[in-house]
Amino acid sequence: MGDLCVVVGATGSFGRAVTERLVTRGLRVLAVGRHEDDLAALAAEAAGVIPCVADIADDSAIGTISAALDGPVRMAVFAAGLPVAGSVETVSPSDLARGADIKLGGLLRLVRAVDARLAPGSRIVMFAGTLGFEPKASSAGPGAINAGVFNLMRQLGDVYGPRGVTTHTLSPGPADTPRVHALVERAAAERGITVEEQWASYAAGTSLGRLPTVAEIAWAVTLLLDPEADVLHGGVLSLDAGGHRGIH
Ligand SMILES: NC(=O)c1ccc[n+]([C@@H]2O[C@H](COP(=O)([O-])OP(=O)(O)OC[C@H]3O[C@@H](n4cnc5c(N)ncnc54)[C@H](OP(=O)(O)O)[C@@H]3O)[C@@H](O)[C@H]2O)c1
């Protein structure tokens, strides 16, 4: 029986690719999401996937996830989506609060659920995003909430490092996912340009000239399975094809 990982948001764009890679490496994945049918479909496609229906925005997720664990947790990954769009002028304040409950509250719920099952070498892996440290007026929610994620992960690093449990914040730029497709279509309509022109402007925001792929993002997560990845403890991995301009 393979070591156990937990992936919150396992049926999402990044979460699915991460889950598929982990099971390919012989690990088992407790796949967390709210929709039973989607989780069952994922489990039917990939041996080693164990469905776990839970809403990470609700405290009951702590008990639901912890009750489903049957051994040490090698890696706990938070990859749930953030359904908050709009600028500071248009975003719904309630949506902003709900988004914070999903990602900030949800991160702590995941960590509390797995805490007793973490051992030296276990990984806590969290998806943030470049907007958290390079704010854009058009994306108030991902900006503000992911800024909080960076801070919270540093705090968790201080707490878990002495236990030999490492923390890793992933900072993707926009990737080729359905969520970004929807954003591109909306932005193109707002700017009165074609979808192709809007994609080109996203790609031009990277120095590689293209957006990261989902497979590349998932690869970065499996990299953290290597024992040498201990050295990355507490850090942020930029997964943005050169979109991030700041030096830090
Ligand atoms: N996509 C990008 O280009 C991009 C760029 C930068 C950062 N990020 C960050 O990366 C993370 C993943 O992005 P993504 O595009 O892969 O997201 P996504 O496809 O929208 O993720 C959806 C997944 O999250 C689950 N989920 C949503 N709310 C949940 C809840 N309350 N409880 C449990 N599961 C929940 C969904 O399952 P159910 O609906 O069944 O619950 C589904 O499995 C996000 O946090 C995002 O901010 C993404």
Q: Which atom of ligand 1 is nearest to the CA of 131?
A: 6
Q: What is the position in ligand 1's atom list of the atom closest to the CA of 16? A: 43
Q: Is 152 exposed, middle or buried (0-12, 13-18, 19+ CB in 10 A)?
A: buried
Would residue 167 count as lying in a domain? yes
Do 97 and 116 lie in one domain? The reply is yes
Q: Could you tell me if residue 15 is inside a domain?
A: yes
Whether 156 and 56 map to the same domain: the answer is yes
| pLDDT, one tens digit for every residue, the chain (248 residues) | 779 999 999 999 999 999 999 999 999 999 999 999 999 999 999 999 999 999 999 999 999 999 999 999 999 999 999 999 889 999 999 999 999 999 999 999 999 999 999 999 999 999 999 999 999 888 899 999 999 999 999 999 999 999 999 999 999 999 989 888 888 888 888 889 999 999 999 899 999 999 999 999 999 999 999 999 999 999 999 999 999 888 76
CATH number, position 64? 3.40.50.720
Residues 136 and 195 in one domain: no
Radius of gyration of the chain (CA): 18
Residue 21 lies in a domain: yes
**How much is the pLDDT for 73?**
98
Return the structure tokens found at 189. Answer: 């309509």
Let me know: does 104 contact 80? Beta carbons within 8 Å.
no
| pLDDT at res. 58 | 98
* 102 and 190 assigned to the same domain: no
Q: Quick check: is 244 in a domain?
A: no
Q: Are 110 and 64 in a shared domain?
A: yes
Total domains in the chain come to 2
Distance (angstroms) between ligand 1 centre and the Cα of 12 equals: 5
Together in a domain, 116 and 170 = yes
In a domain, 247, yes or no: no
Residue 248 is assigned to a structural domain of this protein: no
140 and 29 within one domain: yes
With a Cβ cut-off of 6 Å, ligand 1 is lined by 8-15, 32-35, 38, 55-57, 79-82, 102-103, 127, 129, 142, 172, 174-175, 177, 179-180
Host domain of residue 195:
176-211
Q: What is the pLDDT of residue 247?
A: 77
Closest by CA position to 107, among listed 44, 170, 27, 162: 170
d(CA 153, CA 68): 24
Beta-bridge partner residues of 32: 8, 52
Q: How far is the CA of 54 from the centre of ligand 1 (A)?
A: 14
Residue 187 is predicted with a pLDDT of: 83
DSSP state of 21: H
Closest C-alpha to ligand 1, atom 34: 33
Same domain, yes or no: 102 and 199: no
Torsion of CA 25, 176, 107, 49, to 10 degrees: -30
pLDDT of residue 219: 98
